[in-house]
A and B are shown apart, each in its own frame.
Chain A
Amino acid sequence: MTETVKVYSRPKTLIDRPWHFCPGCHHGIAHRLCAEVIEEMGLQENTVGVGSVGCGVFSYEYFNFDGIGPSHGRAPAVATGVKRVLPDRLVFTYQGDGDLAAIGTTEMVHAAVRGEKITIVFINNTLYGMTGGQLAPTTLMGQVTTTSPYGREAKQAGYPMRVCEMISTLEGAAYVARVALFNPAQVAKAKKSIRRAFETQMQGIGFSMVEILSACPTNWGMAPLEACKHVENNLTSVYPLGEFKVPEGVK
């Protein structure tokens, strides 16, 4: 007789509620990875999640820990306020590329400049998902969006913004990594990076950020598997994966 062993279950840091995300969207995986790491680190009771405005706007409806819904782009400033008051809590933001790399660039850069002991989880899907697929600073060259109908052209909209490369130049940024979710091996690596980022924060080392290349099948006009292939083949060449900065304490 074989015994059944449960090897996979919903983390208690995630509320049992169906996602509102489109089929094949990577936001759900990213939420789950954050929730799993928080549970595994035993931090459910000591975490304050700071959401953003974008398709991740309802993060506080899924996460089973304290949460704040800030205004568009300002999550790192809000997280700074929380962390200065509660320095021993895990404080992280969850932001899209419009939220973080366009309207919230200032707040993100200066949180890193100050070496603010917060973590940013940055979802790069190369466009504005929630508002219907408009151009973002991260949109690929030639990519068609609703506001780059002829494809992104340099003379009109410049070039893709590489956030990790930029943030890595700052001394206050301690852990910086770019990961993806297009296959199970990548998901496992992504989870490890989120853990390292949270550990960097909890050890008081400095600012940490994990950029996650994510699929937006709806606004890319692709089937979910095709969208995974697009991340693997076309996003990673512009946005190379890897750890840009790893502090001694979390190696």
Chain B
Amino acid sequence: MKNSELLLMKGNEAIGEAAVRGGCRYFFGYPITPQSEVLEYLARRLPEVGGAYVQAESEVSAINMVFGAAAAGARVMTASSSPGISLMQEGISYIASAQLPAVIVNIMRGSPGLGGIQPSQADYFQSTKGGGHGDYRLLVLAPSTVQEMIDHTILAFELAEKYCTPVVVFADGMMGQMMEPVVLPEVEPVPSEKPWATTGMRGRGPNIIHTLHLPPDELEQHCHNLFAKYHQIEANEKRSLAYYTEDAEILVVAYGIVSRVARAAVEQAREAGIKAGLFRPITLWPFPDEALVNVAQKARKVLVVEVSMGQMVEDVRLSINGRLPVEFYGRIGQVPTPGEIFNKISQIIAEVA
């Protein structure tokens, strides 16, 4: 990977450029705040590189266009925000079942319903626990900076093709809208072999891509095949970062934009003499459970902070498995400030002291 110069970029546009650099030439989407700049960027950029942008008539159509383009062997992406991602759930289930590589970007906004257009992390359950019908999993990457939005978008294409599975880049409206200095990497995407693609036979027998398995044995085997792949993903792809955790008595767990704020709060706590640490999951599925347990060795309490009513906190509790008290602090429609998280840390440390 060769690096080019430093640029100031908006999160949504950075995702668009990262997709192009990652070899994506096809994008199908529908406008929705706070994600629309991804569409606008790619509508301009893709024709420059010989690709195609299609503005679909709905998110239902967009995800099915993604299905078709992926079946035809292309690197393809869609992007939306919470209500639009809800509409895509049927299509995502089909893409997962058909084992097609595709990248889906969710720039989350407040929900449920039409909700608001402020940042949110309330689609965690939808993306990590199912969302659509049936037994399937999605690989979910949670960047925390505009630079990581770029790096994770490129990584998402690699993982999608490595495992023939849909990958979600999971960010929020604040990250989509904010500008940060970034370095755009010069990537040389390696085209992966896709002997299964429906491209016209051209000298081979027919390739068929479908998701119908009427005989129960066949369907059961299909699900076992999918899960053999998911177990491989669990074994290879769990990603996380830990800060100041070696001696941490209070362990804060946060992902995405919140993890940045939480890091500032943890540093403030350290200055105040509190042994606080931060654990940041980067893959939300597979959830980095062993890594969390390892850094929680010396902890007396865990604090989970999210921009939701508490969703990832359930995976943290499952991982901690009752060995420590796990508390939750959440905000809706706004990212908590370092001061808020610091106050919460101080309060908890006073309780356990």
Contacts and interface: CB of A to CB of B under 8 A. Distances in A.
A173 to B, nearest CB: 15
Contacts of A60: 206, 208, 210
Interface in B74-88: 74, 76
Contacts of A89: 199-200
A66 B68 CA distance: 13
Given A65-B206, A71-B91, A79-B68, A86 B57 contact: no
A57 interface: yes
A60 to B, nearest CB: 5
A15 B63 CA distance: 31
Contact of A65 (B64, B91, B200): B200
Nearest to A118: B68
B69 A85 contact: yes
Q: Which of A44, A45, A85, A107 has the most CB of B within 10 A?
A: A85
Nearest to B210: A69
Interface in B131-166: none
A69 B211 CA distance: 7
B99 to A, nearest CB: 13
A84 B54 CA distance: 9
A24 interface: no
A85 B208 contact: no
B233 interface: no
Interface string A122-155: 0000000000000000000000000000000000
A46 B200 contact: yes
A84 B94 contact: no
Nearest to B209: A68
Interface string A149-180: 00000000000000000000000000000000
Contact of B72 (A45, A81, A107): A81
Given A68-B71, A68-B198, A78 B206 contact: no
Interface string B1-33: 000000000000000000000000010100000
A106 B60 CA distance: 10
B221 to A, nearest CB: 18
Contacts of A51: 210
Interface string A15-28: 00000000000000
Q: Which of A44, A78, A81 has the most CB of B within 10 A?
A: A81
A63 B52 CA distance: 29
A218 interface: no
Contact of A107 (B61, B73, B198): B61
B170 interface: no
Q: Which of A46, A80, A89 has the most CB of B within 10 A?
A: A80
Contacts of B60: 74, 77, 106-107
A110 interface: yes
Contacts of B209: 67-69
Given A65-B201, A69-B212, A89-B199, A80 B71 contact: no
A63 B198 CA distance: 13
A223 B268 CA distance: 83
Given A65-B201, A66-B199, A89-B200, A84 B69 contact: yes
B104 to A, nearest CB: 14
B322 interface: no
Nearest to B58: A106
Contact of B61 (A50, A66, A82, A110): A110
B72 A82 contact: yes
Contacts of A110: 56-57, 61
A107 B57 contact: yes
Contact of A77 (B64, B201, B202): B64
Nearest to B73: A85
A77 B199 CA distance: 17
A68 B57 contact: no
B206 A63 contact: yes
Given A106-B57, A107-B61, A85 B206 contact: no
B297 interface: no
B96 interface: no
B112 interface: no
A67 B90 contact: no
13 contacts: A45-B200, A51-B210, A60-B206, A63-B206, A67-B210, A68-B198, A74-B61, A74-B91, A77-B62, A85-B74, A85-B76, A106-B57, A107-B64
**Closest 3 A/B residue pairs (Cβ):** A81-B68, A69-B210, A77-B64
Given A66-B199, A81-B26, 12 more contacts: A44-B201, A65-B206, A66-B207, A68-B68, A68-B198, A71-B94, A77-B56, A82-B72, A84-B65, A85-B74, A86-B200, A107-B60
Interface of A: 44-48, 50-51, 57, 60, 63-71, 74, 77-86, 89, 106-107, 109-110, 113-114
